[in-house]
Structure 1
Amino acid sequence: MKLLAIETATEACSAALLLDRDIWVRFEVEPRAHGRLILPMMEGLLAEAGLSLGQLDALAFGRGPGAFTGVRIAVGVIQGAAFAADLPVVPVSTLAALAQQGLDEGANQVLAALDARMGEVYWGAFHGDGDGLVVPVTEERVCPPGDVPLPQWQGWMGVGHGWAAHQAVLEARLGPCLSGRPMPDALPSAAEVARLAARDFRQGQVVSAESALPVYLRDQVAHKPGPRPSRAI
């Protein structure tokens, strides 16, 4: 399987090329530089593997939630590439990609939180499937950290910079549901997007380029895709 994934919903910008069981990654933490970095990252990975865009099976992207500009960049770039090469697209939750890092560190249940500003967090609860990949337990939401839903079980690990911004409030809210230390410095990466997208692709969970849309969670944000890039890779 050959799949190219991108993730730009936070201050981290990354691209990953999955070739069967191998993953090649480009990852940089450069706030406000995603529009400049992401296409060269994609082009570099394809060149390193000796592949063209048209030789891929699918494209994938972190669909959000996250920074509005970053999510729009991912949508615009992936739509442009998918249209150019007539490829299917696999949208992957940015929170799921973040939670996958907790699962990879040994957690069985993960509470992923990104700082949504305005005194809120983007929030999702996940556990592992039989293949060690995350699946959602509840719907994702945006809410104040003191209002996050209480999980039904104990033994949850916190992951994401929402925990860095609101750790005291989240720990007071969740109390004995938590287990171990959180991972507040974790940032979503295209590597996890690619792994989750490969599973979803095998299950037929793909969309067309025009249906590759962002997920913002905040109702007041217009759900419109970003502009297509001026050039294809």
Structure 2
Amino acid sequence: MRTIGADSPQGIPSSLNTVDIFMSHEGLLLEYEQSLTRHLPSPTDPKGERKWYNTGAHFLWIGDRTRQPDGAHVEYMRGIENPIGVKVGPTTKPEDLPELLNRIDPKKEIGKITLITRYGAGNVEKYLPAHIEAVKESGHVVVWVCDPMHGNAKVAPSGVRTRHFADIITELSKTLRIHKDNGRKLNGVHFELTGDRVTECIGGSMELSDEDLSTNYQTYCDPRLNYEQSLDVAFLIAKYYANEREDMERNVFRL
């Protein structure tokens, strides 16, 4: 901090010494979520009207198996002011999406709902275009996020769960292209990763194979991208948007 001239005087906090942490989790156990729900003054209401907030996280999402419009999880989520995510997969019928969106967000608040797609690399082209069209026709303006992890899990010959880096990148690449072809933008990505040198997902620049999984397989749940694989993904995403920006600039200069 001193080297770059950003150190602050003794006792005076600096913005570079602080960090904002945003919490998010799946709202699965409703008894737990209910215990953390509070009736609080709205920070955006001039009159300070009280509304219901989940204070255990900034952002909660509904899983692929609990998003029934008449289900208890949707009923809870529609009653709180937090932004809400919804996992969308191959079992999501396009005709069901408008009902689900209207149920959670009848006011059609821009950005209130995030749709997190998780199809699997081989299913993106089959399902995503119809889901984009259904949302477009509903009049809701949602945040689109790609989760290329959960639809690509498989069991290795050794019997442990794993994911192939190539499948993850394939789903992400197809999702980016389909959004662009349909006049939409992908707004975010969802990865399960760690800064540790685990061996839980195969592939990537390290070229991990099934035989390498036992080297440092640590997860008790889902397999994660390790340090190097996470950087691989970050660089590939950065390259995509750098190329897109160059294409836009070339088109501008042609005008």
Same fold (TM over 0.5): no
Which one has the largest radius of gyration?
Answer: 2
Q: Please indicate the TM-score interval, normalised by the length of the shorter structure.
A: 0.3 to 0.5
